């Protein structure tokens, strides 16, 4: 029987709340037995704790969780720091619609005729209301959420979008940068810039037509308890860290000399650079003035030449 499995990936690279996979499973449905196997309980019994099955659904043969998904939503979480959220919202509005996003992704040229056309239906940027006492008003420690909903996404597209929006929110780039990078006639090659970290990125929702999800209540309660333990652990650490920061910051006599949260790094420079924004270098070079990467056409031609060379070598070896 063909089935979709609804799973959560917790803090494994890019987290996913609603990742869906398709696979073929055995069934115990017969003329005498109408109760199906408890796939959720069975899978959670063998999966690592970082991967939890939430629900399943029976689907027709040939269905693909990847290609039959009609829309996806990603969320990206970040501290407000010194960012201008209105500038970010202004720039993010230009992402909505059907565009060629080649300047907002890592190019995948394994197809001889790659397409980078995607449709984004909605983009929102909101400051989150905190349910705890960590975020004093206008301290920079407030958390924000970027929500992007669309039909499909390219390789590293959200992380590239975040990197561009953060530079705009810092005031280092004009809000028109997004619109300009979407103009592939004027900017056919991607300028060099580092993408944002994968840690705050969550695949939050996947939509399918005609799928009836089946949950196991007992397994769901266990997963909730598992997530509550994660939440408590991280919240305790965050509270302790914030208390340390408050104590140390109170000892700084000149508040103007306090380190700015926005001077940390959110770009993917190394595994430790997970939160914050950019570096403290003063010689910032505007993105549109930077050296550019190879064009799509050049990369495709190089890949096809390499592929042809390998195929020719294989044919020669086989003839020998």
Considering the domain boundaries, does residue 313 fall inside one?
A: no
Confidence class of residue 187 from pLDDT cuts 50, 70 and 90? very high
| Adjacent-strand bridge partners of 2 | 24
Considering the domain boundaries, does residue 213 fall inside one?
A: yes
Considering the domain boundaries, does residue 312 fall inside one?
A: no
Strands 143-150 and 71-79: antiparallel
Considering the domain boundaries, does residue 308 fall inside one?
A: no
Of 252, 201, 290, the closest CA to residue 19 belongs to 201
Q: What is the mean pLDDT of the chain?
A: 84
- In this structure, the answer to whether residues 32 and 108 fall within a common structural domain is no
Considering the domain boundaries, does residue 305 fall inside one?
A: no
Q: Supply the CATH number for residue 76's domain.
A: 3.30.70.660
Query: Strands (DSSP E) along 141-293, which ranges?
Result: 143-150, 201-207, 214-215
Note the pLDDT tens digit of each residue in 302-319.
Answer: 877 777 777 676 655 666
**H or E element at residue 243:** helix 217-250
- In this structure, the answer to whether residues 189 and 290 fall within a common structural domain is yes
Domain count for the chain, please give it. 2
- In this structure, the answer to whether residues 217 and 169 fall within a common structural domain is no
Note the pLDDT tens digit of each residue in 172-182.
Answer: 999 999 999 99
- In this structure, the answer to whether residues 22 and 107 fall within a common structural domain is no
- In this structure, the answer to whether residues 103 and 192 fall within a common structural domain is yes
Considering the domain boundaries, does residue 105 fall inside one?
A: yes
7: phi then psi, degrees, rounded to nearest 5: -130, 155
- Note the pTM of the prediction, 2 decimals: 0.84
- In this structure, the answer to whether residues 125 and 216 fall within a common structural domain is no
- In this structure, the answer to whether residues 181 and 271 fall within a common structural domain is yes
* Gap between the Cα atoms of 116 and 129, Å rounded: 36
Helix ranges, 94-216 (H): 157-169, 177-181
pLDDT at 276 > cutoff 80: no
pLDDT at 279 > cutoff 70: no
* Residue recorded with tokens 């975040």: 162
- In this structure, the answer to whether residues 94 and 56 fall within a common structural domain is no
- In this structure, the answer to whether residues 248 and 271 fall within a common structural domain is no
Considering the domain boundaries, does residue 162 fall inside one?
A: yes
* Gap between the Cα atoms of 196 and 205, Å rounded: 21
- In this structure, the answer to whether residues 193 and 44 fall within a common structural domain is no
Considering the domain boundaries, does residue 97 fall inside one?
A: yes
Confidence class of residue 272 from pLDDT cuts 50, 70 and 90? very low
- In this structure, the answer to whether residues 83 and 190 fall within a common structural domain is yes
Note the pLDDT tens digit of each residue in 48-63.
Answer: 888 889 899 988 888 8
pLDDT at 263 > cutoff 80: no
- In this structure, the answer to whether residues 209 and 96 fall within a common structural domain is no
What range does the domain containing 228 cover? 1-68+204-256
Give the other-Cβ count within 10 Å of 251's Cβ. 6
């Amino acid at each position: 029987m063909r089935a979709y499995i609804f799973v959560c990936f917790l803090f494994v690279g890019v987290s996913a709340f609603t990742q869906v996979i398709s696979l073929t499973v055995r069934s115990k449905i017969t003329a005498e037995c109408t109760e199906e196997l408890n796939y959720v309980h069975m899978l959670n019994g063998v999966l690592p704790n970082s991967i939890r099955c939430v629900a399943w659904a029976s689907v027709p043969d040939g269905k693909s969780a990847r290609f039959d998904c009609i829309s996806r939503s990603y969320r990206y979480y970040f501290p407000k720091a010194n960012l201008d959220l209105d500038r970010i919202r202004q720039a993010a509005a230009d992402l909505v619609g059907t565009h060629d996003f080649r300047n907002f992704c890592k190019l995948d040229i394994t197809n001889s005729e790659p397409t980078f056309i995607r449709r984004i239906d909605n983009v929102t940027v909101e400051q989150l209301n905190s349910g705890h006492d960590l975020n004093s008003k206008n301290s920079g420690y407030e958390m924000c959420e970027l929500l992007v909903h669309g039909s499909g996404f390219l390789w590293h597209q959200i992380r590239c979008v975040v990197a561009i929006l953060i530079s705009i929110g810092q005031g280092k780039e004009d809000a028109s940068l997004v619109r300009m990078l979407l103009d592939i006639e004027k900017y056919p090659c991607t300028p060099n810039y580092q993408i944002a970290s994968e840690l705050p990125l969550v695949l939050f929702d996947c939509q399918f037509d005609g799928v009836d999800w089946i949950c196991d209540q007992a397994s769901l309660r266990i997963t909730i308890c598992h997530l509550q333990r994660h939440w408590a652990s991280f919240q305790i650490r965050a509270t302790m860290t914030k208390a340390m920061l408050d104590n140390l910051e109170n000892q700084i006599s000149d508040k103007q000399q306090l380190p700015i949260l926005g001077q940390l790094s959110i770009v993917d420079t190394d595994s430790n650079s997970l939160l914050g924004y950019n570096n403290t270098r003063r010689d910032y070079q505007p993105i549109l003035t930077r050296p550019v990467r190879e064009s799509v056409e050049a990369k495709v031609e190089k890949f096809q030449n390499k592929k042809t060379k390998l195929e020719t070598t294989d044919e020669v070896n086989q003839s020998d």
